Amino acid sequence: MFSTIIASCIGGLLAIIIAVLFFRKKGKPVEEEIKNEINREPEKPADTPELLIENTMDNLLYLNVFIRTKKVPEEVLSLVEKMIDNLMVATPAMIDRHPEHDLTYELKQMCHKHIMKQLKEFFDISESNQQKYMESLMERLNEMADLIKRARDIVETDEVTEMKMIAGFLETKYSKPLGD
């Protein structure tokens, strides 16, 4: 008898919970459900080397288009193109050979973030101030270009001990916030 009463209470509670959930869901407008489904983040596939390389190439393409749509001197354009060319060789090779290496991470950051950050900061200032800061921009870009070229040489010769050193330098120089 006692077990029958408990079973009836549990069954009644479940029925009430199901009814509340059903009416709550029924009360949502269809448009809201469609909007939520459209805005839902798709499940991310695992980061395969192929996907990482494709993402890197997309970032470099975006960087190339970005720099070509701005009014920049030819020297800036050619320097950024050299950096892109070197990254197009070095980054996929590192992703294939040493996917977990610090240098791989830093090269991906160069493709994705560091170069674009320097350029955006420059283009966010007024055109009159851009002339004033052009020399500073060129110094930073030349330094980055030298590091990227050195990274490409290291990757091509597979100098594993040098990879750690250049990765540490890139991390110290570009990955840490300015306040650190």
Span 99-130, pLDDT tens digits: 888 889 999 999 989 999 989 888 888 888 88
Q: Judge whether 140 and 118 are in contact, CB under 8 Å.
A: yes
Q: Judge whether 162 and 96 are in contact, CB under 8 Å.
A: no
- Average pLDDT for 95-101: 90
Span 71-89, pLDDT tens digits: 888 999 999 999 999 999 9
Choose among 174, 170, 128, 145: nearest CA to 77. Answer: 145
Q: Which of 25-34, 46-55, 103-112, 157-166 has the lowest mean pLDDT?
A: 25-34
Task: Decide if pLDDT at 31 tops 70.
Answer: no
Q: Given pLDDT bands bounded at 50, 70 and 90, which one contains residue 57?
A: very high
Q: Given pLDDT bands bounded at 50, 70 and 90, which one contains residue 180?
A: very low
Q: H helices then E strands: how many in the chain?
A: 8, 0
Of 36 and 121, the structure prediction assigns the larger pLDDT to 121
What tokens does 88 get? 């197009």
Choose among 48, 142, 136: nearest CA to 96. Answer: 48
**What's residue 139's pLDDT?**
93
**What's residue 30's pLDDT?**
46
User: Kind and range of the H or E element at 94?
Assistant: helix 74-97
Of 57 and 22, the structure prediction assigns the larger pLDDT to 57
Q: Judge whether 107 and 91 are in contact, CB under 8 Å.
A: yes
Q: What is the pTM of this model?
A: 0.68
Choose among 70, 180, 54, 53: nearest CA to 116. Answer: 70
What tokens does 178 get? 């300015």
Please report, for the chain, the start and end positions of each structural domain, with discontinuous segments joined by +.
2-39, 49-175
